[in-house]
């Protein structure tokens, strides 16, 4: 498995609207997309910096995993997502090495990527996502 | 202020030794440096992935900020560090926009970079570092 770069960082926020001025006016990044991901019960806002995107995650429901994260740990960095050529191959490899999979097979995530999450119990407490761009 | 890329991500761990097998054998990254940063009371281990480094932070003292972070929130992503051409200029700019500075002026961090931290109270709860490579 080769991880080429950090595809994005997910940051849990209570309100995208409240955080936009910091990311845009202070950090000077430009929000190029706001998208709702219904099955994850979040609204997302994307910024690009170098090879990496920053993805703000605002829960749209109290029972969303992001709402529970904020309740437990507060707002902050929620997950790290690595880019790789094949998420399916990567899942097979990391599972064989003892990593617990949240997603047994790739599924569609924001921006049309094929994604899968690994369980933080087996990734040094860092919620970890693997991403593959099907158009590359 | 232009942020060019994510210079590194700091990840708080109880033990670098315990985490190395995950980063090296599962993720396939190579630890190229282990360094103690005495004034931050941490031992650091560095990996490179694309433009970004991953910096594992192991506290070397119970009163290190990283030890307190782990006690409060558990192991996990501790801070995000952005690369910029001049940390001094960036500090002036972000302070004028209402960001609270932890470091009023750049200081030396790991790997000889000039660095400064911004207070998470004013950065959407994300502990944020600015980095400048003096050799660039």
pLDDT in tens, A21-63: 999 999 999 999 999 988 889 999 999 999 999 999 999 999 9
The answer to whether residue A136 scores a pLDDT higher than 90 is no
The whole-angstrom separation of Cα B81 and Cα B83 is 7
Here the CATH number for the domain that contains residue B79 is: 3.10.180.10
Specify the pLDDT at position A39: 82
Mean pLDDT of chain A: 95
The whole-angstrom separation of Cα B2 and Cα A90 is 34
pLDDT in tens, B20-30: 999 999 999 99
Contact B71, B25 (CB under 8 A): no
Specify the pLDDT at position A8: 97
The whole-angstrom separation of Cα A93 and Cα A100 is 11
**Is B49 within 8 Å of A22 when comparing Cβ atoms?**
no
Considering its fold, how many domains does chain A have in total? 1
Instruction: With beta carbons under 8 A apart, name residues in chain B contacting A122.
Output: 22
| Interface residue of A124, A131, A133 to substitute, partner B, most B CBs within 10 Å | A124
pLDDT in tens, B85-108: 999 999 999 999 999 999 999 999
Confidence of residue B44 (pLDDT cuts 50, 70, 90): very high
State the residue range of the domain holding A50: 3-132
Q: Which of B4, B22, B123 sits opposite A124 (nearest CB)?
A: B22
Q: What percent of chain B has pLDDT over 70?
A: 100
Closest CA–CA distance from residue A94 to any residue of chain B (Å): 6
Specify the pLDDT at position A12: 97
Name the nearest CA neighbour of B69 among B113, B108, B19, B125: B125
The answer to whether residue A96 scores a pLDDT higher than 90 is yes
Structure tokens at A95: 């599972």
């Amino acid at each position: 498995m080769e991880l080429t770069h950090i595809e994005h960082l997910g940051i849990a926020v209570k309100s995208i609207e409240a955080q936009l001025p910091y990311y845009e006016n202070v950090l000077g990044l430009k929000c190029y997309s706001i998208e709702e991901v219904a099955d994850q019960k979040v609204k997302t806002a994307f910024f690009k910096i170098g090879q990496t995107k920053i993805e703000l995650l605002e829960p749209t429901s109290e029972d969303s995993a992001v709402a529970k994260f904020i309740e437990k740990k507060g707002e902050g960095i929620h997950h790290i997502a690595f880019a790789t050529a094949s998420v399916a191959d990567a899942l097979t490899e990391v599972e064989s090495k003892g990593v617990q999979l949240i997603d047994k097979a790739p599924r569609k995530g924001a921006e049309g990527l094929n994604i899968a999450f690994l369980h933080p119990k087996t990734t040094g407490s860092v919620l970890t996502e693997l991403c593959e761009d099907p158009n590359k």
